[in-house]
Structure 1
Amino acid sequence: MTGTTALEPFGARLRRAMDERGPLCVGIDPHASLLADWGLNDDVAGLERFSRTVVEALADRVAVLKPQSAFFERFGSRGVAVLEKSVEEARAAGALVVMDAKRGDIGSTMAAYAETYLRKDAPLFSDALTVSPFLGYGSLQPAVDLARENGAGLFVLALTSNPEGREVQHAVREDGRTVGATMLARLAAENAGAEPMGSFGAVVGATLGDLSSYDLEINGPLLAPGIGAQGATPADLPGVFGTAVRNVVPNVSRGVLRHGPDAAALRASAERFATEIASAVASG
């Protein structure tokens, strides 16, 4: 997107998209095994066919699409060109795009990552970006600042669904709080006073069970991987997220993508997940 007109804050745009389209995020994860399952070659042509099919099938109906940058980057500049096109076409069709790149660094390097994904006239501009805070939350400041300036958002890794994450995220600081709890508290401060929802969210796994010991009320979105192939179900969401469930954006990737390359089957699967998630949220 080009021009100088400021976007409405990401949190407000996401809240509206979730209310209108249902709270579902579908990943665009063209890894080699999925390409093979779709009968596509593991090359740039297969990547382009896969991505275009997902965008054409879903971008006009789901709230969020989340391309995983690594699966495009592995093909070099031609793969990144496919990613740029996918982001542009998804946003043009009305989906919000969360770039799953999990960037994290310090100083000018973090600023350069922010410029890549969060500057409104950048080729890879996305509505939000996943970031890693484990060089210290303060290292994310360039991304926080640029996101605010451009109406974009961040999803900060806090309590991820992979078992290895516990050794960092559940480590206890000198003040008695875990690292994950500290990230949630910092995000709550970023979102203070924002209506109807702040733009700075956390990544919190839907597979983690009861999280009542954590304050998930950050007045911002909670991107929740783990629905579908990783074993969590929409019905699990209220038990995991409690009163924060209304701000949860469950991510489903393989659970939807395995139905490709048939566009109608992709749409039907996404609609089923969206309906089940909306029902679970309403009952939570």
Structure 2
Amino acid sequence: MTFGKRLTTALDTRGSLCVGIDPHAGLLDAWGLGRDADGLARFADICVRAFADTAAVVKPQSAFFEVHGSAGIAVLERTVAAVRDAGAMLLLDVKRGDIGSTMAAYAQAYLDPSSTLASDAITVSPYLGVGSLQPVFDLVAEHGAGAFVLAATSNPEGPQFQHAVTATGATVAQTVVDEIAAVNAGADPLGSLGVVAGATIGAGAPRFDGLNGPILAPGVGAQGGTADDVRRVFGASLRDVIPSVSREVLRHGPDVAILRGAVERLVAEYAFLRS
């Protein structure tokens, strides 16, 4: 079964929400955990118990595991497996982007089922050209995996590049969306390639009609984005939008029940996306 089909089922069953596992130093402190691999493991375990059987998509941020070296990677491997075992779609936030054999190695590391980090999907960067991501697209097709390509991000530095106009007259962000749409053409019910587009982007936002793929939408909750912003930015493509939250949920930790409640409230808030 393709990632697009599995994701559609997850969103229909669990609601439209992606919840991050972002164990940065400040949150480890706030949760009363050590800034070491043991604290990292306890943080990840709490998150898995709180929402991996509730949220449709769970997104560990690889960097916060990598900073602890090999011990952190071991925790990430266990977390990836635990999230998938709990039934959530596992989106590993790695934002890799390179060319040739290097990109192929990244794809194999995260999308090959034989890898200890095998994920349902990963985030990737197209700024060496969307074509440079072909090794990822190949493994997506081969293994029924998915990928989310950065298009119009919510960080304030993004528009300087993403809103720049190419020789065709389209913005860089629109070009990314259009090239992903071409790969997704004909997929049913949803393509396995998505884009990342912030819920707080303003003028210059790309059009998403015809994408036929999921839209990961960071920027809601603690970053200031609202349900009204989601409606404004994504319009007729709302059914394909997956709001992505991290701080908005994790600030309620480390109590498992309170974390779970925060996720359930947000799922209810964005229930209109599946209507």
Under TM normalisation by the shorter chain, which class is it? over 0.9
Identity of aligned residues (%): 58
Q: In 1, Cα distance between the equivalents of 2:205 and 2:29?
A: 41
Contact 2:163/2:204 (8 A) holds in 1: no
7, 21, 30: which is aligned to 1:28?
Answer: 21
Q: In 2, Cα distance between the equivalents of 1:211 and 1:23?
A: 25
TM-score (norm 1): 0.94
1:25-104 aligned within 5 A = 25-104=18-97
SS at match of 1:163: coil
Contact 1:211/1:241 (8 A) holds in 2: no
Following superposition, the deviation at residue 282 of structure 1 comes to 5.5
| Gap regions ≥5 residues in structure 1 | 1-7
Following superposition, the deviation at residue 237 of structure 1 comes to 1.3
How many residue pairs end up in the alignment? Answer: 275
1:125-274 aligned within 5 A = 125-209=118-202, 214-274=207-267
1:206-255 Cα shifts (integer Å, max 9, x gaps): 11146665234300000000111110022321111000011001101000
TM-score (norm 2): 0.97
SS at match of 1:269: helix
SS at match of 1:220: coil
Contact 1:210/1:239 (8 A) holds in 2: no
Contact 1:211/1:240 (8 A) holds in 2: no
Q: In 2, Cα distance between the equivalents of 1:157 and 1:212?
A: 13
Give the RMSD, CA atoms, in angstroms.
1.2
Q: In 2, Cα distance between the equivalents of 1:25 and 1:163?
A: 22
1:6-65 Cα shifts (integer Å, max 9, x gaps): xx1101100110010000000000000011111111111110000010011111111000
In the TM superposition, structure 1's runs of 4+ consecutive aligned residues that sit over 3 Å from their partners are 209-213
Contact 1:184/1:202 (8 A) holds in 2: yes
In structure 2, the CA distance between the partners of 1:268 and 1:72, relative to structure 1 (3 Å rule), is same
The residue identity in structure 2 corresponding to 1:159 is A
In structure 2, the CA distance between the partners of 1:13 and 1:211, relative to structure 1 (3 Å rule), is farther
1:76-96 Cα shifts (integer Å, max 9, x gaps): 000000000000000001000
